[in-house]
Amino acid sequence: MIDLKTVQYVADLARVRLSEKEAKTFTEQLAKILTYFESLKEINTDTIEPTSHVLPLKNVFRQDLLKKSLPQDEVLAIAPKKKGSFVKVLRVIETG
């Protein structure tokens, strides 16, 4: 079951600010979605052949080509924060 605390935790991880009203709305919506998925467990799929995708697909990857990147000074010029010759970003890995 999903609760308000979980929605706020995930929003914090995603660096998304939610108002109290939005967090409550998302909590209700996600709870309904998860309840629906739980109901899918009741469907008998014993006679259904497993598939990896419902449509026939082939490799859709593009060729990995080496190309020139932006010069460092241009990147640093548009960076919101920098430290020396590096772009400074917020820590996104939890510790503890």
Instruction: State the pLDDT at residue 1.
Output: 79
Q: Does any domain span residue 37?
A: yes
Within a domain: 95: no
* Residue-wise pLDDT tens digits, 70-89: 999 999 999 999 999 999 99
Q: According to the model, what pLDDT value does residue 29 have?
A: 97
- Domain membership flag for residue 57: no
For residue 27, give the CATH number of its domain. 1.10.20
Whether 35 maps to a domain, the answer reads yes
pLDDT in tens, 17-64: 999 999 999 999 999 999 999 998 899 989 988 877 777 777 778 888
pLDDT at res. 57? 76
Alpha-carbon Rg for the chain, nearest whole angstrom, is: 22
**Domain with 34 in it:** 4-42
Residue 22 lies in a domain: yes
Domains held by the chain: number: 1
Q: What is the pLDDT of residue 96?
A: 59
Q: Is 45 helix (H, G, I), strand (E, B) or coil?
A: coil
Residue 77 lies in a domain: no
* Cα–Cα distance measured from residue 51 to residue 27, given in angstroms and rounded to the nearest whole number: 32
